[in-house]
Amino acid sequence: MIIYLDNNATTKMDQEALDEMMPFLTERYANPSSIHTFGGNIKNDIEKARQRLADLINCLAEEIIFTGCGTESDNAAIMSCLSLSEDKRHIVTSNIEHPAVLEFSKRLEKRGYDVTYLKVDNNGLINLDELKNSIRKDTAVVSIMMVNNEVGVVEPIKDAAKIAHNYGALFHCDAVQGLGKLPIDMHKNNVDLMSFSAHKIHGPKGVGALYIRKGVKFTSFITGGHQERGRRAGTENVASIIGFGKACELSKKNIDLYTNGKVKQLRDKLEKGLIDNISDAQVNAKDAPRSGNTLSISFKFIEGESILLLLDELGICASSGSACTSGSLEPSHVLKAMDISHLYAHGTIRFSLSKYTTDKDIDFVIEKMPGIIERLRKISPFS
Ligand code: PLP
């Protein structure tokens, strides 16, 4: 028996997405760039998938390119903004971004670019005044995530994008954890570039997308072919793009489950069940807007990894809030940036739910967790 509560890592693929993909892995194998009808028809299917993502985020299909993953979309977006002007060599981002932005920014620093990392408060929120003060004449891009993958905090993207524009910078948003969980309407925000990934919304792994607002100049990161209207070279991962499109169509119908429906109700039930039954536990990002599927919770005096191992023995899949840095387990960069006290941060677990999570799953976790924590605290040198 598997109880899968690690949906921010990846999700189970929708059967309907797989069904739509299968012909493109078997009999419909032509290259979409070929002149013959066999290939040309496949191009039409790719365009249908593009339209499905466009419908989910309310933009034009031509504003979307498909990429190899969310990480590529993030890298490509930032690189493009930097390539537009030789004089603009400054980036503003936050210190709770996914490594796809954070590590890329650090690499850029080594190449001579300047990066400002915005601090976050105890709930993981950036400060808009700090953002305002950090933008300079040579700032090429501000890159802030929509939803943090570890704690689920939702950043004030719309306001941040407005500020970036007021001060002459482009705005990129990593919305990999926002897609399908929050309503996204590109007509209602000022974002220039936005990154997505299929495998977080019950689509296949190895395909992502980048939204590029009409009129925003874009320089391709991967060059060589004319695919994606010259904006992303390489023969398309056709089947995965088709699966991504179907997953988008299904996601559009299911957003309410995450904003105030079943998924959020189950997350809230889990949160209450754990807080009510376990002492010295705290919910991270509790006082900020949070994604409806994510619960990051810290237990004083114990190690998240030990909790994970005992959960694993019961078939429960979750994540810890640690990162392996030079062989030792440290609280993640996100928990450190939020200034979560060490005694709690080490004992952090992330449960992330999906539309496939059931009441039974959550009841089982609520039943088992108090015993696990008690057992570990008994042998903890800190408690
Ligand atoms: N950005 C965020 C916020 C993520 O959570 C992830 C994946 O965990 C990524 C980017 C990277 O996406 P991908 O796995 O498609 O490269």
Residue-wise pLDDT tens digits, 147-161: 999 999 999 999 999
CA nearest neighbour of 128 among 83, 79, 161:
161
Binning the chain into helix, strand and coil, the percentages to the nearest 5 are 45, 20, 40
For 223, the token pair is 């060059």
Beta bridge partners of 180: none
What ligand 1 atom has the least distance to the C-alpha of 9?
Answer: 8
Looking at per-residue pLDDT, the higher value among 223 and 117 belongs to: 117
Q: How far is the CA of 150 from the centre of ligand 1 (A)?
A: 11
- Our answer on whether the CB atom of 69 is closer than 6 Å to any ligand 1 atom is yes
Predicted pLDDT of residue 41: 96
Flag whether pLDDT at 78 surpasses 60. Answer: yes
Q: What is the mean pLDDT of residues 48-77?
A: 98
Mutate to test the pocket of ligand 1, among 11, 66, 71 (most ligand atoms within 8 A of CB): 71
Q: Given the DSSP bridges, would you call strands 193-197 and 170-174 parallel, antiparallel or unpaired?
A: parallel
- Our answer on whether the CB atom of 174 is closer than 6 Å to any ligand 1 atom is yes
What is the rounded distance in angstroms from the CA atom of residue 124 to the CA atom of residue 337? Answer: 8
| 343: enclosing H helix or E strand | helix 342-345
What is the rounded distance in angstroms from the CA atom of residue 172 to the CA atom of residue 142? Answer: 6
Q: What is the mean pLDDT of residues 39-63?
A: 97
The type of residue at 363 is D
Q: How far is the CA of 277 from the centre of ligand 1 (A)?
A: 33
Instruction: Collapse the DSSP code of 173 into the 3-class scheme (helix H, G, I; strand E, B; otherwise coil) and give the result.
Output: strand
Q: What is the mean pLDDT of residues 115-120?
A: 98
Q: How far is the CA of 379 from the centre of ligand 1 (A)?
A: 36
For 307, the token pair is 């909790």
Predicted pLDDT of residue 118: 98
Residue 306, number of CB atoms within 10 A of its CB: 18
What is the rounded distance in angstroms from the CA atom of residue 330 to the CA atom of residue 222? Answer: 35
- Our answer on whether the CB atom of 70 is closer than 6 Å to any ligand 1 atom is yes
So which residues are the catalytic ones? Answer: 324
Q: How far is the CA of 205 from the centre of ligand 1 (A)?
A: 11
CA nearest neighbour of 283 among 293, 273, 296, 301:
296
Mutate to test the pocket of ligand 1, among 176, 202, 237, 294 (most ligand atoms within 8 A of CB): 176
**How far is the first Cα of the chain from the last one, in angstroms, to the nearest whole number?**
32
Q: How far is the CA of 272 from the centre of ligand 1 (A)?
A: 28
What ligand 1 atom has the least distance to the C-alpha of 145?
Answer: 3
Q: What is the mean pLDDT of residues 264-279?
A: 98
| Residue bearing tokens 């590109």 | 186
Task: Please name the residue whose Cα sits nearest to atom 5 of ligand 1.
Answer: 149
Flag whether pLDDT at 352 surpasses 60. Answer: yes
- Our answer on whether the CB atom of 145 is closer than 6 Å to any ligand 1 atom is yes
Flag whether pLDDT at 382 surpasses 80. Answer: no
Mutate to test the pocket of ligand 1, among 93, 173, 177 (most ligand atoms within 8 A of CB): 177
Flag whether pLDDT at 326 surpasses 60. Answer: no
Q: What is the mean pLDDT of residues 51-58?
A: 98
Q: How far is the CA of 157 from the centre of ligand 1 (A)?
A: 18
By the 8 A CB rule, do 217 and 3 touch?
no
Going 317 to 327 to 331 to 345, the CA torsion angle's sign is positive
Of 2-11, 74-83, 228-237, 319-328, minimum mean pLDDT range = 319-328
Flag whether pLDDT at 201 surpasses 80. Answer: yes
Predicted pLDDT of residue 324: 60
Task: Please name the residue whose Cα sits nearest to atom 8 of ligand 1.
Answer: 9
Predicted pLDDT of residue 81: 97
The pLDDT confidence band at residue 325, using thresholds 50, 70 and 90, is low
Predicted pLDDT of residue 380: 81
What is the rounded distance in angstroms from the CA atom of residue 78 to the CA atom of residue 100? Answer: 10
What is the rounded distance in angstroms from the CA atom of residue 102 to the CA atom of residue 118? Answer: 11
Quote the radius of gyration of the chain (alpha carbons, Å): 21
Give this prediction's pTM: 0.97
- The 10s digit of each residue's pLDDT in 207-251 is 999 999 999 999 988 889 899 999 999 999 999 999 999 999 999
Flag whether pLDDT at 333 surpasses 70. Answer: yes
Flag whether pLDDT at 31 surpasses 70. Answer: yes
By the 8 A CB rule, do 257 and 220 touch?
no
What is the rounded distance in angstroms from the CA atom of residue 247 to the CA atom of residue 197? Answer: 11
- Our answer on whether the CB atom of 98 is closer than 6 Å to any ligand 1 atom is yes
Q: What is the mean pLDDT of residues 301-316?
A: 95
What ligand 1 atom has the least distance to the C-alpha of 149?
Answer: 5
